[in-house]
Amino acid sequence: MFVNSGQLPHLLTPEAYFDQGWYDREQKAIFADVWHPICRTADVPQHGDRFAGMVNAVPVVIVNRNGSLFALENICAHRHSEIVSCGKSKGEQLRCQIHGWEYDEAGRLAHLPDGRSFVGIKAQDYCLKTYAVESAGPFVFVNLCSSPSPLELQFGAFAPEFHRYYDNLRPIFAITQEHPVNWKIVCENSVESYHVPLVHKESFADHRLEELHDHRLEPEFSRYGDLMPFEAEQKWTAYAFRFYIWLLIQNPSYARFTHVHLYPNMLLYFLDFYADVRIVVPLGPERCRITTWGFVPRTVHGGLLGRWLQDLSMLVFERMVRKIADEDITHWPPVQEGLKHSRHRGILSAREERVHAFQKYVIGRMDQATDAGAAGRCSAELTGL
């Protein structure tokens, strides 16, 4: 069931989706003290493995040293080159690709080529900035704040469910795209079903009845559980799904899918045989980057034959994920354009209450930063990088 009944106010003004000043305040108020998933643990499993990427517009490299993970600024103190190129790499030393300056896992300058030409240099003045790093489920998270809140606090009451579904997964695909829309448009589109009959008429055909929605609205996340039983589908479809799950999955729940928006920008979809995570990264007032990681249970029945069947079925499932995403993507630019010319806030239905809950979170974080200076301890670091 829905938590609310009847219409709800659209809390954010159109300017919140395109104004540069709002975007700048949002970065400090919402993203300054946030744990960002930068890569999968499977990307850096062994000593010498590295992964370089962007965290809130800051170049960061994850380094595996003897099984421990470290997060460092990926900008050489010499002449500002990225030390290693984006993506996965391997190397015993963290060595700048241009001039060869080397750094240890604590960011300290460890080797300086042609040191005689730098007489008088103080190595301690040329250390890389280090960041907090933690692993959870299949991800490596980084927080740019010098005194970050605990990662589990960001998960809130969703933490047990996250670990239950995401702690023993095997990665199968990763998709990264950039889109000319505000990051909140993507998040809001993902958490409401009112658009389904028109946008996804070939995929889902219609939205579920209210009594088939299991909505949960929490301070750290919103959650939707699909309560339609498999038996409500065509009989052959229901039997096929149940047989597939029974054949491969250990201790299945046979539940339909669950979708969670973990604030501010993690979107999770999971069920017995598949899970994915979509990260929506703001790049500007009207641009964002979306990375989607797909996973399957690491342990399945049937040994190698079960793994082969799992991989084969996921080829079909990945195509379905891409198709549904493409149906949404085509409708984001018209929303972005309309917001730039709108003269009113809009209105939400009870079916869109997860949008309302997300907007309430955004407003709350913005107000908190304005009234109490909550983002002050991190904002200076962020703007100075």
| DSSP sequence for 294-362 | EEEES--TTHHHHHHHHHHHHHHHHHHHHHHHHHHHTTHHHHHHHHHH-SS--EE-GGGHHHHHHHHHH
Give the pLDDT confidence score for residue 123 in this predicted structure.
72
Judged by DSSP in three states, 282 sits in strand
Do 13 and 118 belong to one domain? no
| Inter-residue contact 72 to 128 (CB < 8 Å) | yes
Nearest to 356 by CA among 366, 344, 346: 346
Domain stop point among 85, 108, 143: 143
Kindly state whether residue 3 falls inside one of the protein's structural domains. no
Give the pLDDT confidence score for residue 382 in this predicted structure.
46
Q: Which pTM was predicted?
A: 0.88
Do 132 and 206 belong to one domain? no
Which residues are CB-contacts of 96 (< 8 A; sequence separation ≥ 6)? 76, 78, 81, 83, 102
The number of folded domains in the chain is 2
Kindly state whether residue 385 falls inside one of the protein's structural domains. no
| Inter-residue contact 12 to 365 (CB < 8 Å) | no
| Inter-residue contact 29 to 368 (CB < 8 Å) | yes
In order of 21, 44, 288, 358, the CA distances from 17 in angstroms are 11, 36, 12, 14
DSSP state of 138: T
Kindly state whether residue 149 falls inside one of the protein's structural domains. no
Kindly state whether residue 82 falls inside one of the protein's structural domains. yes
Domain stop point among 76, 111, 143: 143
Domain stop point among 76, 110, 143: 143
Give the pLDDT confidence score for residue 190 in this predicted structure.
94
Kindly state whether residue 383 falls inside one of the protein's structural domains. no
Do 232 and 359 belong to one domain? yes
- Burial degree of 67 (CB within 10 A; 0-12, 13-18, 19+): exposed
Do 195 and 316 belong to one domain? yes
Do 239 and 126 belong to one domain? no
Give the pLDDT confidence score for residue 381 in this predicted structure.
47
90: domain CATH number is: 2.102.10.10
Do 205 and 252 belong to one domain? yes
Within the chain, where are the H helices? 20-29, 151-155, 159-166, 183-190, 196-199, 235-248, 303-329, 332-341, 353-372, 376-383
Do 122 and 167 belong to one domain? no
Spatial distance between the Cα atoms of 222 and 218, rounded to a whole number of angstroms: 6
Identity of the amino acid at 91: G
- pLDDT tens string 262-275: 999 999 999 989 99
In order of 18, 362, 369, the CA distances from 357 in angstroms are 20, 9, 19
In order of 90, 98, 105, 157, 382, the CA distances from 108 in angstroms are 19, 18, 7, 38, 21
Kindly state whether residue 254 falls inside one of the protein's structural domains. yes
Give the pLDDT confidence score for residue 323 in this predicted structure.
86
Do 220 and 207 belong to one domain? yes
Give the pLDDT confidence score for residue 231 in this predicted structure.
63
Do 164 and 57 belong to one domain? no
Kindly state whether residue 244 falls inside one of the protein's structural domains. yes
Spatial distance between the Cα atoms of 144 and 141, rounded to a whole number of angstroms: 10
Residue that has been written with the tokens 């054949």 in this structure: 247
Spatial distance between the Cα atoms of 236 and 27, rounded to a whole number of angstroms: 49
Nearest to 27 by CA among 11, 40, 16: 16
Kindly state whether residue 232 falls inside one of the protein's structural domains. yes
Do 355 and 341 belong to one domain? yes
Do 19 and 66 belong to one domain? no
284: domain CATH number is: 3.90.380.10
Judged by DSSP in three states, 261 sits in strand
Q: Which helix (H) or strand (E) holds 8?
A: strand 8-9
By residue range, what is the domain housing residue 54?
36-143
Please identify every stretch of the chain with a pLDDT value under 70, giving residue numbers as ranges: 201-206, 230-238, 371-385
Do 204 and 335 belong to one domain? yes
Q: How many CB atoms lie within 10 A of CB 377?
A: 13
